[in-house]
Structures are given as C-alpha cells and as structure tokens.
Amino acid sequence: ALWIACHRNYIAIVSLLLNSGKADVSKADNEGQTPLFVACAQDNTAVINLLLKHGQQQRKLAFLDVREGGYESALSSPVRVSDECAHTVDVTGRSVLFAACQYNRSATVRLLCKQPEFLELINLPRHNGDAPLAVACLHGHRDIIKILLSVGSDQGEGGATATGATATPTGEGGIGAGAAVGVTVHLDATNGDGDSALHLVCRQQAVDLAALLIEHGASTITLDDCGQDALLYISNEEDR
C-alpha cells in the first residue's frame, strides 16, 4: 500500500501509513525499488519530504532509546529512510539519485542534493558503469547536469567550481551540503564503454554542455575504448 501511494503521489495516504507505524518503508518490489525510489522517480517531492521527515523522527527515537539504555528497542525500531533506504539500489544498480537524474526530475535532484546521505550517491554507478552525471549527459538533461555540477558551489548552477578533474563544492551559494561531507563529482569517470561525461555530450554535438563540463575541469584528453578523445566526435561531425 505504501509503495503504491508513493508512486501515485497520494500524500494523505502516505502520511496516514507512516503515522500508523505499520508501514515498511524498506519493502521493495520485484525490481528492487522501494517507496522512496518510486517517489524520486516520479518527482513526488511532497511524498519524498514525508519519507525523509519520518526517517529523521525514527533516528531521534532510536537515539533517545540508546541514551536511556534501550538498546533492544533501538535495534527493533522501524527502518530509517534517510540512512538505510538512501543507499538501496534496484536490480540494475540504480540509486534513488540516479533514477531522479535519469528521468530528469530536477526538483527531486535538488532536494536530494541537500541531504548528505544522498550526496554520497553522486558518483555511485549502476551496473553498466554509468554514474548520475553520465546518465544526465547521455539524455541531455541540462538542468540536472547544472545541479550536479553546482553542488555546494558558491557560483550557482553552471558556475565553475574546480580546475581539476572533479567539481568540488566550495561554498554556501549552491546546493550547500557537499562541502560538509567532502563530496566531489567525478567528471572523468568512465562507463563500461570507456565514455566519460564529456564523451557523451560530444557524441550528441551538445557544444554548450561540453563547454560547461570543461569549464568545471573535465579532461579533454581522456580516451574512450576506441582510443578517441571526446572533442574529436564534435570535429568529426562538423567535417561531414
């Protein structure tokens, strides 16, 4: 019931089920997708906030139980969304952040990137090697790319934050939580085909996105499995 309510954005029902104390927030479907996962995939931010708030409340209860010596009660408390479900992946290895990036759910990506436990997923690849930034580049999701690059940046979305191979959160003007947990976006990570994020946007002739990645420190000399650097794919297309 909770899974369906989260998927269909039935906010009142989700709230009722969570308050009942009987809902299993960690229960996944046959694809390995939890209620939080489907809420993120559908961009149901109100539901996501309810799940996160529920997780925070359960953490507080567990903490109080431990402080008072109630170790058994703390261990048997309901699954906590923020720290346990945050790192759950589906059968293809997709995290909740990955799914939001893949489906172009910009509101959800912004929301998740404000939570340190979800920022830790920013470089987690699915089974084929694609990380969240790579899948956003593959589909040309400009807003998602800018959000990921601006995590913790004082430059805002799309502003330069690094001169090396990572986009490093540096201030409070961007998403904000990245600097606190030392998160960096691995710009030059490659997938199973040897493609970096820059390769993926160059294959699509997305010159503006290529410029944005390079501005943030993406390497122009990384080679794919064919031995080609990313910019060669743009020049080859222009020569035709």
**Average per-residue pLDDT in the chain?**
82
**pLDDT for residue 79:** 40
Lowest mean pLDDT among 37-46, 170-179, 200-209: 170-179
134, 126 contact by CB (below 8 A): no
Q: pTM of the predicted model, to two decimals?
A: 0.81
Strand partners for 14: none
Residue 28 near residue 88, CB atoms below 8 Å: yes
Q: What is the pLDDT of residue 22?
A: 85
**Using CA atoms, how far apart are residues 109 and 119, in angstroms rounded to an integer?**
10
Q: Please name the helix (run of DSSP H) or strand (run of DSSP E) that holds residue 49, with its range, or none.
A: helix 45-67
CA–CA separation, 129 and 78 (whole Å): 33
What pLDDT, in 10s, does the model give residues 141-185? 999 999 999 984 434 454 444 434 555 443 333 465 555 557 889
- Among residues 61, 60, 51, 67, the alpha carbon closest in space to that of 19 is found at 51
* Helix or strand run (H / E) with residue 185: strand 185-186
Q: Is the pLDDT of residue 63 over 60?
A: no
DSSP code of residue 223: B
Token output for 19: 């308050």
| Long-range contacts at 12-16 (CB < 8 A, ≥ 24 apart) | 14/47, 14/50, 14/51, 15/50
In the chain, pLDDT over 90 holds for what percent of residues? 62
Residues in the chain, overall count: 240
Give the pLDDT score at 56. 78
CA distance 51 to 117: 14
- Distance, in Å, from the CA atom of 55 to the CA atom of 47, rounded to the nearest integer, reads 12
The answer to whether 25 and 85 have CB atoms below 8 angstroms apart is yes
- Using the Cα atoms of residue 126, residue 130, residue 133 and residue 136 in order, give the sign of their dihedral: negative
| Best CA proximity match to 109, nearest among 117, 123, 97, 120 | 97
Residue 60: pLDDT band by 50, 70, 90 thresholds? low
Q: Residues of 210-231 as b/e, b for ≥16 C-beta within 10 angstroms? A: bebbbbbbbbeebebeeebbbb
Instruction: Please name every residue paired with 229 in a beta bridge, in sequence order, or none if there are none.
Output: 223
- The reported pLDDT for the residue numbered 77 is 42
Between 64 and 50, name the one with better pLDDT.
50
Residue in this structure with the two tokens 């030059």, named with its chain if needed: 188
